[in-house]
Structure 1
């Protein structure tokens, strides 16, 4: 079973301009925000907790050979990335790439975030997916993000754009094809299905791994997000449910408990912890607590497996 942690190398996945009352660090910056001392301690803690996968959100934190123009100041070189990935593997952890192509989370694409759905955009996406897969040694899975592509999530952005209807599905298909051409399996967030579950389950290929997410603790029968785990299960999708300590230290434990009861064992590939903070020393306790919460939740699926 996959027990994964989401770590951000780049954190330019949100707003492209400052605005009043913005959350710390949510505004894109032209430099890397990443503390290696914390990074290494997170990896050590993950290994000690029995976690076996790392989803690394790369964004503009890599000086891509195919598109160096999008890299931020102090971005890792490909050689540096390979060196760090060797460290990850030495700890028994499988590194998996994430590049979020949702228009709500693509500030990292620089000028190409303003060329969405053009031939040049499609080529850049393919180039980056191919290079990321090569750098990570042809991974089994490749997370494409694709969450929250709605106007409400871009209300503070200087440049707001959203795809919908046939265009959203067309572009997702292009990204899936690009991932599969590398030998990896595509993986996406599932919230696009919350507002139109019938269409989502009719059009989303079953070969694409689903990460539905819900970060509260009530798991109410009238709440769309947690109920969508059951919808995905009813339609036979492979799932990696996602919890977080973003709003509650109890969410991950509750997510594991909830999903074990509702997702068939052969469709439950694992779980993903998403701390949703930059890899900076000021968030050390938050990141290490996230790992501790995964470790504590292991008793639930170990009990289910045994």
Structure 2
């Protein structure tokens, strides 16, 4: 009789702790939102929104696209329009700390140094950093175009570019009290370009990897972790994903060169591609990122959770979670979020409803 009780107790404990461990694997470490830094005049509104909407939705991580919208003191020439002050940033950081929301500041490095017909502040002030100086920004932008122009890049081998951009990086990680920094690095179409006297003829994968290494090593001095977008590390031809959400310009091999400490934000907007598993098996921590299709967000939450549940402890720990990406202003996001009449458009898109679908899916799967 005692043996029967012992065995029954043993199997109950095995089942219980196994189930508990499975649930622990399912818990998402990152429940995030990537959004633009709010305009200074809307700072209080954003803090209120974070308290009343984001925190109750389960959000614990904000990647804030700062770029040139901060009052840089080290490089005041690189202040953009309507920049936020140090005191305003401190107010935002303190409020998010109280809410248990971590802020990760973002400054686009390497790529996205222009947008269609307008250069970012970096290339506006330092045009010598341009990877493609012979390609001019048109008055009226169209895609496709003969130059293959989407966004400009800075030359990663220019001898002075890192002195400038690292001043900005150092300043914003300090003012945001950041433990991690997002360097962007997505959609880098101009790299090892024939127009660049320094990069022409170089292996794009090595150039990309070297830039990641340089940024990572700089941040590591202050024990700050690097986050980047993952598209340049996916082979667009082999996967069939193509040139936007993956690479068709020979950068994908960089995945075997860059440090495993880098966190990969794996954005896919039309389908929930299972590429988080690719990054995890390569040794990287990964975050799945939706944008404008609610069903894709739901599928990405389910996918990440399934990957965690069906992995061993080592692999499961690499699936960090899900982060919604929003590519307009914080003010527009808040307005649409609060509008009860807001709905899916004729193309089936709504970034706000996609965010809500992500948050609801996490809660439905037992997240707190």
Distance (Å, rounded) in 2 between the aligned partners of 1:72 and 1:51: 28
Question: Contact 1:53–1:94 (CA<8 Å) still a contact in 2?
Answer: yes
1:193 aligned onto 2:233? yes
Distance (Å, rounded) in 1 between the aligned partners of 2:274 and 2:254: 14
What's the C-alpha RMSD, in Å, of the aligned pairs?
Answer: 2.9
1:69 aligned onto 2:114? no
Shift of 1:49: 1.0
Name the residue aligned to 1:40: 47
Name the residue aligned to 2:182: 143
Change (3 A) 1:149 1:113: farther
Change (3 A) 1:149 1:3: same
Structure 2: runs of 5 or more not aligned:
1-28, 115-119, 130-154, 192-198, 236-249, 309-314, 338-350
Name the residue aligned to 1:260: 305
Distance (Å, rounded) in 2 between the aligned partners of 1:289 and 1:165: 37
**Pairs within 5 Å for 1:236-255:** 236-244=283-291, 246=292, 248-255=293-300
Structure 1: runs of 5 or more not aligned:
11-31, 153-160, 220-225
Name the residue aligned to 2:136: none
Q: Which moved more, 1:280-289 or 1:140-149?
A: 280-289
Question: Contact 1:58–1:99 (CA<8 Å) still a contact in 2?
Answer: yes
Distance (Å, rounded) in 1 between the aligned partners of 2:46 and 2:62: 11
Larger radius of gyration: 2
Change (3 A) 1:83 1:100: same
Aligned residues: 265
Shift of 1:150: 0.7
Question: Contact 2:213–2:258 (CA<8 Å) still a contact in 1?
Answer: no
Provide the secondary structure at the position in 1 that maps to 2:185: coil
Q: Which moved more, 1:53-62 or 1:71-80?
A: 71-80
Name the residue aligned to 1:111: 125
TM-score (norm 2): 0.64
Shift of 1:265: 2.0
Shift of 1:276: 1.6
Shift of 1:35: 3.9
Provide the secondary structure at the position in 1 that maps to 2:73: coil
Name the residue aligned to 1:125: 165
Shift of 1:299: 3.1
Deviation readout 1:103-147 (Å, 9 max, x if unpaired):
23462434246513322211112111111111112x222111100
Distance (Å, rounded) in 1 between the aligned partners of 2:362 and 2:226: 26
Name the residue aligned to 1:298: 362
Distance (Å, rounded) in 2 between the aligned partners of 1:232 and 1:210: 8
Provide the secondary structure at the position in 2 that maps to 1:125: helix
1:58 aligned onto 2:109? no
TM-score (norm 1): 0.76
Q: Which has the higher contact order (CA 8 A, sep 6+)?
A: 1
